[in-house]
Amino acid sequence: MPDRRRVLFVTDLAYQARGRRYCDEDIFLTSRLRDDFDIALCHPLDAAAMMDAFDVVVVRNSGPVLHYQKEYDTFREQATACRTRIYNPLSGRGDMAGKQYLLDLTAAGYPVIPTIDRPEDLHLLPEAGQYAVKPKAGADSIGLTFVPREQLSGLAYGDILVQPRIDFRYEVSFYYVDDAFQYALHAPDPERRWVLEPYEPTDADLAFARPFIHWNTLDHGIQRVDACRTQEGELLLVELEDLNPYLSLDLVSDRTRDAFVASMTASLHRFLDAQPRT
């Protein structure tokens, strides 16, 4: 029998997230992945010191990295220098790399909430009652504020993004392993982001989400495409989460949950087979 692969599973089990229980999700995932792998859990602050002893580092519900940015940057630098296998790979172009992708996707004409970061681009934003101002390095709505249009010209640009505040019907999230769609959930009440229900996507919904997965060019890993449905029925990208997307596995059926675990397990094996350790 071949040796079992060793997985360092990075998670902050004590992190208090609004409307989500990170610890429950990661306890469940590791209990199931243990069927195929030897697994140890560690806090994100301990990952750099421990990762050399493992075949792969799986970064899951580790909390917003801006709370430990210096340590996270060290982790990335060390993993890159040592060619450590990180899942998701560190080449992600979505939230893993900050919010620049919202600007890039806006400029490229993708269906995304229009986003700018320079006062000279204010004319590119549609008229709205209010505008969302958020830090480029933000997460979990940290630092998010709303201002009227007349205040936009006086903002301190450079490290912020500006978007129109969209009057949407609901938010919907599409969950992927590698490039394969797994399931979708939506929040019927716009004021309750994490009160989610199963959602049956249409072909048009999946045709909206898939180009963002392809744009991100991650061959392996877990991604979540968050979108809002406008009053006119259009879907617009809110976030492309490729660092540590919460999966809300407690809200899907047993069959869907089992299928997700099987997909993640197969993805990890493919990743390890494709990335031999040097």
- Quick check: 165 and 128 in contact, CB under 8 A? yes
Alpha helices of the chain — where are they, by DSSP H?
22-33, 47-50, 69-82, 100-107, 203-216, 254-274
In tens digits, the chain (278 residues) has pLDDT values of 457 999 999 999 988 877 778 899 999 999 999 999 999 999 999 999 999 999 999 999 988 887 888 999 999 999 999 999 999 999 999 999 889 999 999 999 999 999 999 999 999 999 988 999 988 876 656 678 899 988 888 888 888 899 999 989 999 999 999 999 999 999 999 888 888 999 999 999 999 999 999 999 999 999 999 999 999 999 999 999 999 999 999 999 999 999 999 999 999 999 999 976 65
What is the identity of the amino acid at 191? E
Please report which helix (H) or strand (E) contains residue 186, including its range: strand 180-187
Helix (H, G, I), strand (E, B) or coil at 4: coil
Distance of alpha carbon 113 from alpha carbon 70, whole angstroms:
30
Judge residue 242's burial from the number of C-beta atoms within 10 Å of its C-beta, 0-12 exposed, 13-18 middle, 19 or more buried. Answer: buried
Q: How far apart are the first and last CA of the chain?
A: 22
- Quick check: 192 and 241 in contact, CB under 8 A? no
52's tokens: 């050399």
pLDDT given for residue 1 in this prediction: 41
- Quick check: 44 and 12 in contact, CB under 8 A? yes
Distance of alpha carbon 156 from alpha carbon 252, whole angstroms:
42
- Quick check: 135 and 98 in contact, CB under 8 A? no
Return the number of other C-beta atoms located less than 10 Å from residue 52's C-beta. Answer: 12
List Cα–Cα distances, 92 to 38, 130, 220, 228, 269, in angstroms: 26, 31, 10, 22, 19
- Quick check: 59 and 189 in contact, CB under 8 A? no
Distance of alpha carbon 65 from alpha carbon 75, whole angstroms:
11
Tokens 């004021």 — which residue? 191
Confirm whether pTM is higher than 0.75: yes
pLDDT given for residue 191 in this prediction: 83
pLDDT given for residue 277 in this prediction: 60
Q: What is the DSSP string of 219-261?
A: SSSEEEEEEEEETTS-EEEEEEE-SS----GGGS-HHHHHHHH
List Cα–Cα distances, 54 to 4, 44, 232, in angstroms: 11, 15, 49
- Quick check: 252 and 260 in contact, CB under 8 A? yes
